[in-house]
């Protein structure tokens, strides 16, 4: 009987030790979570600009899970919103002007960048990010016949541009989308982009601003075609974009007066 009592006492002491150790581990985890800036028991989620942690500070800890190869046209936010997308930059003249107009009206946008232009102007890439906008891969050479070329060519165009943009942006900043030049997607290019963390990105409203049809025509196109969907295509590169800047000066306040907010495409 005495032998059984001693054995029970040893088991009780061992169980208490295990519980104490579990409490120490639990407390350590809670402290670590609080130190990261999140609520106890919750990891800090992505900021509105698609980066993890504190807004404005890129982090390599972004974890998005599988990315769909289907072309995104919708907004990630519910309700009455638009997705502004700006293609073919960054451009040393027009990108800063576009950024100024977006800031003036509190609008966010996704910038679809040409790889070599991003590589040549990392200061502008970082300026885009600092303003809370998102990045999109728009290939190396902007070849609108990419869908007629080999898979090796498509791979080079997409992945080389992604690396150039990421290098210009800085460590840990994700390129969330891939937009094929002229919409020249293929099943292969969509899957390749998705496998590398980039959602294929389409559009609903093509303003044709790259043709320079006149500011009034660009504005009219947005107002007439917005019923087709929320994602609007503008350009900040590829030539004189003074009409685009002027059209944004009219379009953005009109959108706000109509009750629209600004979102990002689903990624």
111-157: per-residue pLDDT in tens? Answer: 999 999 999 999 999 999 999 999 999 999 999 999 999 999 999 99
Closest CA to 96 of 198, 245, 256, 208: 245
Q: What would you report as the CA-atom Rg of the chain, rounded to the nearest whole angstrom?
A: 25
Among 57-66, 226-235, 240-249, name the one with the lowest average pLDDT: 57-66
Name the pLDDT band for 63 (thresholds 50, 70, 90). Answer: low
Q: What is the pLDDT of residue 71?
A: 98
- Evaluate if residue 177 carries a pLDDT over 70: yes
pLDDT at 264 over 50: yes
Mean pLDDT (the chain) is 83
Judge whether residue 47 has pLDDT over 80: no
> Can you tell me the mean pLDDT for 11-30?
37
pTM of the model: 0.78
Nearest to 65 by CA among 197, 176, 159: 197
How many other C-beta atoms lie within 10 A of the C-beta of residue 158? 24
User: CA–CA distance from 107 to each of 71, 209, 248 (Å)?
Assistant: 23, 19, 10
235 a catalytic residue: yes
**Within a 10 A sphere around the Cβ of 77, how many other Cβ atoms?**
15
Please give the biggest Cα pair distance in the chain.
Answer: 100
pLDDT at 31 over 70: no
181/203 Cα distance (integer angstroms): 12
Please say if the pLDDT value at position 246 is more than 50.
Answer: yes
Say what the pLDDT of residue 155 is.
98
% of the chain beyond a pLDDT of 70: 76
Q: Report pLDDT for 18.
A: 35
Strands 177-178 and 261-262: unpaired
Q: Is 142 a catalytic residue?
A: no
Which residue has better confidence, 34 or 128?
Answer: 128
- Between 12 and 252, the more confident residue is 252
- Res. 24: pLDDT tops 80: no
Catalytic residue among 88, 133, 235, 236: 235
Which is the catalytic residue, given 49, 87, 91, 137? 87
- Domain 81-262: CATH superfamily is Glycoside hydrolase/deacetylase (3.20.20.370)
Distance CA 186, CA 165 (A): 22
Q: Mean pLDDT throughout 166-172?
A: 97
Least Cα distance to 126 among 93, 174, 170 occurs for 170
Write out the H or E segment, with its range, that includes residue 200. Answer: strand 199-200
Domain positions in the chain are 1-45, 81-262
What mean pLDDT do residues 166-190 have?
Answer: 97
51: exposed, middle or buried (C-beta count within 10 Å: 0-12, 13-18, 19+)?
buried
Mean pLDDT, to the nearest integer, of 29-35?
31
pLDDT at 14 over 60: no
């Amino acid at each position: 009987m005495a032998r059984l009592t001693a054995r029970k006492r040893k088991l009780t002491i061992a169980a208490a030790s295990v519980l104490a150790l579990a409490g120490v581990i639990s407390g350590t985890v809670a402290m670590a979570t609080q130190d990261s800036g999140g609520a106890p028991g919750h990891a800090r989620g992505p900021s509105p600009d698609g980066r993890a942690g504190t807004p404005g500070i890129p982090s390599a800890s972004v974890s998005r899970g599988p990315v769909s190869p289907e072309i995104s046209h919708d907004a990630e936010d519910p309700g009455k919103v638009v997705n502004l997308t700006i293609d073919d930059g960054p451009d040393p003249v027009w990108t800063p002007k576009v950024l100024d107009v977006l800031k003036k009206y509190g609008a966010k946008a996704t910038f679809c960048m040409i790889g070599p232009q991003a590589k040549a102007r990392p200061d502008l890439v970082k300026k885009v990010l600092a303003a809370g906008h998102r990045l999109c891969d728009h290939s190396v050479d902007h070849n609108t016949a990419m869908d007629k070329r080999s898979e090796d060519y498509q791979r080079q165009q997409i992945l080389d541009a992604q690396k150039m943009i990421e290098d210009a942006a800085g460590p840990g900043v994700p390129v969330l989308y891939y937009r094929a030049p002229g919409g020249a997607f293929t099943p292969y290019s969509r899957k390749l982009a998705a496998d590398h963390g980039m959602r294929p990105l389409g559009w609903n409203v093509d303003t044709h601003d790259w043709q320079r049809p006149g500011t009034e025509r660009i504005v009219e196109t947005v107002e007439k075609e917005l019923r087709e969907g929320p994602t609007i295509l503008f350009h900040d590169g590829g030539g004189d974009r003074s009409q685009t800047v002027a059209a944004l000066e009219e379009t953005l306040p009109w959108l706000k007066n109509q009750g629209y907010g600004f979102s990002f495409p689903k990624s």
